[in-house]
């Protein structure tokens, strides 16, 4: 049988074998319909400029928690989280990533946004990535003889 959101609730089970009926709570879990999207200017940037990207995930129950990663390391310099924006009927979560000063070492960085509902035994996190391109002037060193 298909399960619907209206099916969530407390159910009572009773049989002749059980002396007392038992209550069981049914919780409906719904994955987001698609991976998160990254919003923002993805064009190559010059060294010294800033970067602002927004990760957005729509739907899901419970709503996922969003996190930014630089490669495999969680990015900790996040500006803010906007949770539970209602847009038509879908709930939306957003997480902003702000890098105030790009360096040449940021060229090729893989920024990923991961949407995780916190249910590892039931649902795998969903992710979306963008590879950053930073334009920087070459440096030439001439050894002195």
Tens-level pLDDT at each residue, the chain (145 residues): 688 888 899 998 888 777 788 888 998 999 999 999 999 999 999 999 999 999 999 999 888 999 999 988 888 655 445 555 554 556 888 999 988 999 999 999 999 999 999 998 999 999 999 999 999 998 898 998 7
Integer Cα distance of 51 and 131 in angstroms: 12
- The CA distances from residue 1 to 4, 7, 70, 123, in Å, are 10, 11, 42, 21
At residue 7, what are phi and psi to the nearest 5 degrees?
-75, -15
Residue 45 CB contacts under 8 Å (≥ 6 apart), including other chains? 51, 102, 132, 133, 134, 135
pTM attached to this predicted model: 0.78
């Amino acid at each position: 049988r298909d399960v619907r959101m209206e099916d969530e609730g407390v159910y009572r089970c009773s049989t002749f074998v059980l002396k007392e009926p038992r209550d069981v709570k049914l919780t409906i879990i719904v994955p987001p319909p698609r991976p998160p999207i990254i919003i923002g200017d993805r064009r190559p940037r010059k060294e010294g400029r800033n970067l602002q990207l927004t990760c957005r995930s729509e739907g899901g129950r419970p709503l996922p928690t969003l996190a930014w990663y630089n490669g495999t390391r969680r990015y900790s310099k996040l500006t803010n989280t906007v949770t539970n924006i209602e847009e038509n009927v879908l709930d939306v979560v957003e997480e902003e990533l702000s890098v105030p000063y790009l360096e040449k070492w940021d060229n090729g960085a893989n920024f990923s946004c991961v949407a995780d509902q916190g249910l590892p035994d039931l649902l795998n996190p969903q992710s979306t990535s963008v590879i950053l391109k930073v334009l920087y002037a070459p440096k030439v060193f001439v050894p002195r003889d």
